[in-house]
Amino acid sequence: MDNQVCGDNAKIDTAAGCATTKAETGAFLEAPQVTMVSPEIAPFAKTGGLGDVLGALPLALERAGLRPCLFMPACRSVLRGGFPLEDTGIRFSVPLSSHRVEGSLLKTVTGSAIPVYLIRADHYFDRDYLYGTPDADYPDNAERFIFFARAVLEVLRLSPPRLLHAHDWQSALVIAFLKAQAQLYPELASTKTIFTVHNLGFQGLFSHLDWQILDLDWRFFTPRYLEFYGKINFLKGGLVFADTITTVSPTYAEEIKTAEQGFGLEGVFQERAASLVGILNGADYSVWNPKTDPYIAQNYSAEDLSGKKTCKTDLQHVFGLPLDADVPLVGMVSRLTVQKGIDLLQEALDRLLSRKLQLVIIGTGESRYEQFFSRVSLAYPGMVGVKVIFDEALAHRVIAGADMFLMPSRYEPSGLTQLYSLKYGAVPIVRATGGLKDSIEEFDPERGTGNGLIFSPCQAKDLLAAVDRAIAFFRQPERWTTLMHKAMTADFSWECTARAYLDLYRKLGVEVKLATEVREARR
């Protein structure tokens, strides 16, 4: 790689870092309205819901007429994934403690014309995994994402956005550096900032010995700023410095202000409550739609449910279960962790399987749960099917074939699979927490309201009671069909979420001119 470093022709040369660009490359044609920064963006890189969100939300904004630009690391899955990559000609050098690290900027495109800029430094990002091996996090994660944040800011100085929208702890320092060291980034002085928390369970905690790499004054290593019980908390940096904080559902925005779900940061959220907004994530119906899904045995819709029976038979066949249309089939696609309430399911399992039902589970996670459910599938042949894997195509088949979909999460910031299960008529059974509470309403057959079954508090007996209610409705075909129709016609598209973000951008004083509005003004 031809690394052009700072020199006499540098566009930028300050204590913060330096960048050069060949103007003729046309890397930036104009300052973007909104720049989003994330460690993962589908389809380029994905470990979970964060990648899905950053893959779908920008496209929904584009459909609304706004074209954001995106930043992420140039990780191995991008470099070797067959994506068309362009070298922008931009090179930069940023300080990390006593030395400087060089990098370059690549570009690709998502949607119809959304630029995705890739921070390239192969010794940091060209690795098999994004954040660590299956055994442990990478020991240099602090340095990797400090570099990423500094590099993004260096590039943005060439074309300052009106609004900078960073996601999760890996991107939080982009905002922290911008605000704590504003004198180093004068070009970005008028840029507004939003920080989105996708899952407070992951905060980016590192030893105080890494503080020197940040090149921040020690006055910021205090409880008021980035210090957290003797450690550096990257996510906290985004929380204390951002103009506005968002979470991925309204209920989660309230829950994280409590000791139970604040993970030690509830005081920060309480203090910043006036700047905290919850916006529920959406579902990508271009991917998750039983009417067009290429992975399932037969397509179907709310208007024609006949294919649902074929999908159930297919799922029973895949897991070696009796081909019985009359037995309720409960599906789960989940990480096997405490957060997802797997311990609660474990506690309830013997009593759950005393009901006449079938249970199908796919997912990976903590080895103790992987081993437990593998043993359960052997102990209950004909009732339980388990595959300790994650397979995207199989996930579609589970949701399409299941009658009910179980999510007993202890906490769930937003959740996406309950939205998918609604669309597929796999009636969700969820605990009333976070985005599950915001998207699922208890079915009331008398009033004809609701789209699933919910339970609270987080106890095995309450989970079992919700399953029993679902089974009772399943035994009443007319009511069950009504419930399925209510679920399948619920609208949780990304367009709804995009409109909420656009409103928020405007409230921050960012002038957002959509293509549709421009066309109307010209008439």
Average pLDDT over residues 451-467: 96
Question: Which pLDDT tens digit goes with each residue over 418-441?
Answer: 999 999 999 999 999 999 999 999
Band (67; pLDDT cuts 50, 70, 90):
confident
Band (516; pLDDT cuts 50, 70, 90):
low
More confident residue, 504 or 521: 504
* C-alpha span between 148 and 121 (Å, rounded): 9
* C-alpha span between 47 and 40 (Å, rounded): 8
* C-alpha span between 495 and 281 (Å, rounded): 10
Confidence at residue 515, expressed as pLDDT on a 0 to 100 scale: 54
Question: Which pLDDT tens digit goes with each residue over 131-172?
Answer: 999 889 999 999 999 999 999 999 999 999 999 999 999 999
From the centroid of its chain, how far is CA 232? Answer: 23
Question: Which pLDDT tens digit goes with each residue over 299-358?
Answer: 999 999 999 999 999 999 999 999 999 999 999 999 999 999 999 999 999 999 999 999
Judge: domain 12-278, CATH 3.40.50.2000: yes
Average pLDDT over residues 216-243: 98
- Paired strand residues for 206: 232
Confidence at residue 25, expressed as pLDDT on a 0 to 100 scale: 39
At 185, the amino acid letter reads Y
520 pLDDT more than 80: no
In sequence order, which residues have a C-beta less than 8 Å from that of residue 465 and are 6 or more positions away? Answer: 455
* C-alpha span between 336 and 386 (Å, rounded): 12
Output the pTM of the full model: 0.89
Q: How many CB atoms lie within 10 A of CB 17?
A: 26
* C-alpha span between 364 and 371 (Å, rounded): 10
- Report, in angstroms and rounded to the nearest whole number, the Rg of the chain calculated over CA atoms: 24
Are 268 and 493 a contacting pair, CB within 8 Å?
Answer: no
* C-alpha span between 260 and 223 (Å, rounded): 20
Confidence at residue 441, expressed as pLDDT on a 0 to 100 scale: 98
339-373 burial, b if ≥16 CB within 10 A, otherwise e? bbbbbbbbebbeebbeeebbbbbbbbbeeebbebb
More confident residue, 47 or 300: 300
* C-alpha span between 348 and 148 (Å, rounded): 44
**Residue % of the chain over a pLDDT of 90:** 88
More confident residue, 8 or 244: 244
Question: Which pLDDT tens digit goes with each residue over 350-380?
Answer: 999 999 999 999 999 999 999 999 999 999 9
* C-alpha span between 166 and 37 (Å, rounded): 5
Band (18; pLDDT cuts 50, 70, 90):
low
Domain ranges of the chain: 12-278, 306-492
16 pLDDT more than 80: no
Are 208 and 221 a contacting pair, CB within 8 Å?
Answer: yes
Give the per-residue SS3 of 367-435: HHHHHHHHHHHHHCCCCEEEECCCCHHHHHHHHHHCCEEEECCCCCCCCCHHHHHHHCCCEEEEECCHH
Across the chain, mean pLDDT equals 92
Are 300 and 311 a contacting pair, CB within 8 Å?
Answer: yes
Confidence at residue 31, expressed as pLDDT on a 0 to 100 scale: 66
Confidence at residue 48, expressed as pLDDT on a 0 to 100 scale: 82
Which residue in the block uniquely carries the two structure tokens 């969820």? 430
- Considering only the top CATH level, what class is 306-492? alpha beta
Q: Which of 26-40, 97-111, 315-329 has the lowest mean pLDDT?
A: 26-40
Phi, psi values for residue 358, rounded to 5°: -120, 145
Q: Do domains 12-278 and 306-492 have the same CATH topology?
A: yes
What is the 8-class DSSP label of residue 308? H
